[in-house]
Amino acid sequence: MDYLNINKISWDKRAKIHVDSEFYDVEGFLGGGSSLQDIEIRELGEVSGKTLLHLQCHFGLDTLSWARLGADVTGVDLSSVAIDTAKLLSLQLGLESRFICADLYRFGDEFDGEYDVVFTSYGALCWLPDIHRWAATVARCLKPGGTFYIAEFHPFYDIFFGYSYFHLTDPDVEEAGTYTENGQAEKLTLATWAHPISDVVNALIEAGIEIIQLNEYPYSPYNCFDGMEERDRGRFYLSHKGYDIPLIYTIKGVKRE
């Protein structure tokens, strides 16, 4: 199956829908807002003056938000529509940036460059069939001593919505709308893979990343799953039999010298 082409077609369509959504609030971003969440701002820490590679950057809002905090940013994404939009936004805002349209694995194989920080977030890993190859790409793109950071949806949640928690070789292929409020009408074909946290951690360790922090959160900063309850402002919870489901995990690591 040509999963890359299937997902590229769907992400190109999603990118168009997302730019017009309230969920992404491009207008607020152009007005000076940041699309970053408290979790990653607090946990990743100071980025000013650092080179930062954003893997699977979508149409660049988070990448450009890091640029606004002083990072020298490069964003990579499979979707040409997303990358073209990111370039336009960057130009419009006069923010220094580089955006590259490439499959993540191809980027790792073909592009040179070592960064101080490699960042990726919220809905990235499920599009990748091979978590070891992903971790090797992360390590290759980092300077020795550089920082890796991920904030990702917790795969434990998948069990409640009918997906596998553990990795399966074959992708889950489904037709679905997208997660923004304007994105239910058009069904798109998506190929995804589950990656349990142990696989992610072990792949990073094997690739030469020393894990210095692993956190789990009982809330998501995004209201993107059915039945979420906003108990505190900007914190959306889901519970099962009275107990909170883990919704986000984060990992911070350093590439061994």
Ligand X SMILES: C[S@@+](CC[C@H](N)C(=O)[O-])C[C@H]1O[C@@H](n2cnc3c(N)ncnc32)[C@H](O)[C@@H]1O
- Report the residue number, 121 or 147, with the smaller CB distance to ligand X: 121
CA-CA distance, 207 to 132, in Å (whole number)? 8
Question: Cβ 225 to ligand X, closest distance in Å?
Answer: 13
Of the listed pieces 71-79, 88-96, 183-191, 213-221, which binds ligand X according to CB under 6 A? Answer: 71-79
Instruction: Calculate Rg over the CA atoms of the chain.
Output: 17
- Report the residue number, 39 or 238, with the smaller CB distance to ligand X: 39
Shortest CA distance to 98 belongs to which of 60, 46, 147, 137? 60
- Report the residue number, 97 or 239, with the smaller CB distance to ligand X: 97
- Report the residue number, 104 or 239, with the smaller CB distance to ligand X: 104
- Report the residue number, 60 or 253, with the smaller CB distance to ligand X: 60
Residue nearest to ligand X (CB): 123
CA-CA distance, 138 to 203, in Å (whole number)? 10
Question: Cβ 60 to ligand X, closest distance in Å?
Answer: 8
DSSP letter, residue 127:
G
CA-CA distance, 60 to 254, in Å (whole number)? 24
Question: Cβ 18 to ligand X, closest distance in Å?
Answer: 8
Question: Cβ 193 to ligand X, closest distance in Å?
Answer: 11
Does position 79 interact with ligand X (CB under 6 A)? The reply is yes
Q: Is 154 exposed, middle or buried (0-12, 13-18, 19+ CB in 10 A)?
A: middle
- Report the residue number, 158 or 242, with the smaller CB distance to ligand X: 158
Question: Cβ 250 to ligand X, closest distance in Å?
Answer: 13
Q: What count of other Cβ atoms lies within 10 Å of the Cβ of residue 256?
A: 13
- Find all residues with CB under 8 Å of 143, minimum gap 6, and list them: 114, 115, 116, 255
Does position 37 interact with ligand X (CB under 6 A)? The reply is no
Span between the terminal Cα atoms of the chain, in Å: 39
Does position 7 interact with ligand X (CB under 6 A)? The reply is yes
- Report the residue number, 106 or 240, with the smaller CB distance to ligand X: 106
Does position 78 interact with ligand X (CB under 6 A)? The reply is yes
Q: What is the DSSP string of 178-222?
A: -SSTT-SSS-EEEEE----HHHHHHHHHHHTEEEEEEEEESSBSS
**Residue type at 50?**
K
**Residue type at 38?**
D
Does position 56 interact with ligand X (CB under 6 A)? The reply is yes
**Site track for ligand X across 102-141, x = CB under 6 A:** -xx----------------xxxx--xx-------------
Interface with ligand X by CB under 6 A: which residues? 4, 7, 11, 56, 58, 61-62, 77-79, 82, 103-104, 121-124, 127-128
